Amino acid sequence: MEGDQSIPHADATSIGFEGLAAAMATTPTTDQYYHPAMATTPTTDQFYHPAGLATTPSTDQLYPDLDGDGDGASNGAPSVNITVNPLDGPEAVVRLEVPDTTASPQDEESTPIVDPVEDQSTTLLFRDGERKIDFVLCYQDCDDQKKTDRRDRFEKNLEKEGLELEREDKKHSQDGRTHYVKVHCPWEVLTRMAEILAIKMPIKEDDAVFNERGCLDCHWDPFDLPTDLVTEEKDYFTATFKTERQDMFIIPDKDTFFSNAQRSMFTYELLLRAQYDDTPDKIGIDRLLKQDVYSAAYPLHEGPCDSEHSLLTHPALNDRHLLAEVWARPGRWYFNQPMDLIRKYYGEKVGIYFAWLGFYTSALIPAALVGCIVFLYGLITMMDNAPRAFKEICDPNGAGDLIMCPLCDKRCTYWKLQSSCLYSKLTYLFDNHATVFFACFMAIWSMVFLEFWTRKQAEIQYDWDLAGYDMEERIRPEFEAKCQKKKVNPITQMSEPYLPVWEKVPRVCTSFVIVIFMICCVVMAVFGVIIYRTIIVTFLYAQTDNDVIRKNAKLATSCSAAFINLCVIMILNRLYMRVAVWLTEIERPRTDSEYEDSYTFKMFLFQFINFYSSIFYIAFIKGSVTLPAA
């Protein structure tokens, strides 16, 4: 069993013939006889074709005596494999395959009998075929008894919370070493967690009709997804879920009322709060993963992401398959994103990320077009309308014939101004008269982008019922476990844990000092690269008489310094990512929003200086600072 689970297109179920006879002992209905895709009920001749039976066959004809004992039963008869392919549509066929009964006893002993109910490697359900797998925990055997005790204690506490567990032995895993614990969240636990997390669920279909249509709404949009593939979801009036008011909500099916993303979120919330030791702050699956008590913890996908059939002829197998076909393909890059489907499958957090990414990418299109126009302007005017200084530098009979002073004191030779003609041309492509207009355009573009994204964000908040999320957000389990002091919340009038000011101030100050230290490390790394360039250029000019090395000494030094700077940036960035997580945990933020805000601020501040300090030096310091002579 792996994280990417899939449901096969057709399952072959092996049953005894007596089981088949028992199952058909009563007269089946039309729906049992015929595939639902059939438009009309076939006649007797059509159903029993090509036998051409004029009358309904008898029980002996339906259930032949395969074992030959004359009792009409099939005691000891070989099993019959029944295979149904649901993707065949109206042409679905039930295939009965009777294995060869002449096999030798040796073949029978060597052929393992696999119970399809026991083979759960490609299913999303428990062994009973009814309970859905909402989360999977993985671990391997170890000699550390402490880890085993923590795992057992953790799983017992999960069961006390109402979760149902089913364990798979390591012999069923691909590597033969990994144990799996399948977690199911029953209906009672789902409703309890939905009420605790203040999840908004539909109570009535939105029957409001808006007839306002603009001119742009009437024309065909080539970027819209086909409506026959991705149907528009219905709008509902929603309310915060309450267990005692379940009758108010639209619950067509308890198994599908909560989406798979919501079920996984509820289960993960319980995994984060379950204790694995007697100490109150020893909680959470995240800690157990860091301590190697469990090797992995993840929810499952909803099935396969591909099919041998096209969506034009067969419906999508599941939401994952539909997303893979209409969204997660390079050929679909120009279509609008199915945001409701993404939100339904991945949840609101991932959905908002892709909404912002798509909006940002679309907003970059006008900026990219203006940038290309500026570049083409520089390319076209390079030869015809080039500035006077540009022409003088490239003129071999004019200013280009001027002899310039050496670039260093002793080893460098004189050079002509014309040798910098190529660099002047390249500079003009990106730094011409139109560049000033482009700079003004980007300044206006940034303000317009922020305003339009604020509007789009408010639209998503209303459409996805996310307004007021910060006020209803639950306290982080780590904060709840480590902060023992409590006070009454003036809004909810409930006792909640809190962090006193005299404990919070030292933590924030410590975090601030470490952040400043890491920023100083970045600045020192930049100056280290500058010193490296100075030393290497001086060495190449002073220690060699080769004209080729002297001529390309500056270029070679710049390239090597840029590579070193890149390595330093990547190393410091990876290091600071770990430091930022540790510092954020030290501060003990109360909610997930406070945690993400603190972490984001640290990463933005550090990465801004880490990535742009070299560019800042080149733009504002390099030309105005004179280094001492070699």
pLDDT at 49 over 50: no
| Cis, bond preceding 490 (omega within 30 deg of 0) | no
Average pLDDT over residues 375-385: 78
Condensed to tens digits (0 to 9), the pLDDT of residues 75-133 reads: 444 444 444 444 344 444 444 444 444 444 444 444 343 343 344 445 789 988 889 99
Give the bridge partners for 475, in sequence order: 591
Classify strands 296-298 and 236-240 as parallel, antiparallel or unpaired.
unpaired
Q: Which residues contact 10 (CB under 8 A, 6 or more apart)?
A: 83, 84, 85, 86, 87
For residue 303, pLDDT over 50 is answered with: yes
Cβ contact 277:153 at 8 Å:
yes
- 485-511 pLDDT, tens digit per residue, is 888 877 777 788 888 888 889 999 999
| C-alpha to C-alpha distance for 369 and 364, rounded to whole angstroms | 9
Order across the sheet with 178-184: list the strands.
Answer: 164-168, 178-184, 135-140, 296-298
Could you give the C-alpha distances from 336 to 177, 221, 243, 339, 456, in angstroms and in order?
44, 10, 37, 9, 15
Q: 598-622, pLDDT tens digit by residue?
A: 999 999 999 999 888 888 887 777 7
Interval 185-198: pLDDT, tens: 999 999 999 998 88
For residue 237, pLDDT over 50 is answered with yes
Model pLDDT, residue 530 = 87
Q: Looking at the chain, how many residues does it have?
A: 630
Distance CA 295, CA 179 (A): 10
Token pair, residue 82, equals 């029944």
Find tokens 């509902």 and name the residue: 236
- Say how far apart CA 129 and CA 337 lie, in whole Å: 34
- The strand ranges marked E within 241-368 are 296-298
Residue pair 601/513 in contact by the 8 Å Cβ criterion: no
The mean per-residue pLDDT over the stretch 330-351 comes to: 89
For 378, half-sphere exposure in the C-beta direction (CA atoms, 13 angstrom radius) is 21
Q: Residue 296 has what pLDDT?
A: 94
Q: Return the CA Rg of the chain.
A: 35
Number of alpha helices (DSSP H) and beta strands (DSSP E) in the chain: 22, 13
The pLDDT value given to residue 120? 40
User: Phi and psi of 396, rounded to 5°?
Assistant: -70, -20
Integer Cα distance of 335 and 332 in angstroms: 6
Bridge partners (DSSP) of residue 139 are 179
Is a pLDDT exceeding 70 seen at residue 173? yes
DSSP 132: B
3-state secondary structure 512-575: HHHHHHHHHHHHHHHHHHHHHHHHHHHHHHHCCCCHHHHHCHHHHHHHHHHHHHHHHHHHHHHH
Query: What is the mean predicted confidence (pLDDT) over 35-44?
Result: 40
- Residue 38: pLDDT above 70? no
Q: Does position 449 have pLDDT exceeding 60, yes or no?
A: yes
The model's pLDDT over 176-186, given as tens digits with 9 standing for 90+, comes to: 899 999 999 99
DSSP category for residue 135? E
Q: What percentage of the chain reaches a pLDDT higher than 70? A: 73
Phi, psi (degrees; rounded to nearest 5) at 107: -65, -35
Please give the pLDDT value at position 220.
Answer: 67
What letters, b where the CB count within 10 A reaches 16 and e where it falls short, cover 227-256? eeebeeeeebebeebeeeeeeebeeeeeee
Helix (H, G, I), strand (E, B) or coil at 238: strand
CA dist., res. 565 & res. 531, Å (int): 12
pLDDT at 455 over 90: yes
Predicted confidence band of residue 481 (pLDDT cuts 50, 70, 90): confident
Contact status, residue 92 vs residue 38, Cβ threshold 8 Å: no
Burial of 511 (0-12, 13-18, 19+ CB in 10 A): buried
Distance of CA 206 to the CA centre of its chain: 31
User: pTM of the entire structure?
Assistant: 0.69
Terminal-to-terminal C-alpha distance of the chain: 66
CA distances from 20 to 83, 115, 622 (A): 13, 16, 86
Q: What's the chain's average pLDDT?
A: 77
Give dist(CA 160, CA 175) in Å, integer. 31
Q: Which amino acid is at 219?
A: H
Q: Give the closest residue to 374 by CA, choosing from 312, 310, 440, 313.
A: 440
> How many CA atoms lie less than 13 Å away from 538 in the CB half-sphere?
11
d(Cα 483, Cα 552) in Å, to the nearest integer?
A: 62
Residues forming a β-bridge with 404: 415
The number of CA neighbours under 13 Å toward the Cβ of 516 is 6
C-alpha torsion angle, residues 104, 108, 109, 113 (rounded to 10): 180
Give the burial string for 190-210 (b: 16+ CB within 10 Å, else e).
Answer: bbbbbeebebbbbeeeeeeee
What is the token pair recorded at 117?
């109910």
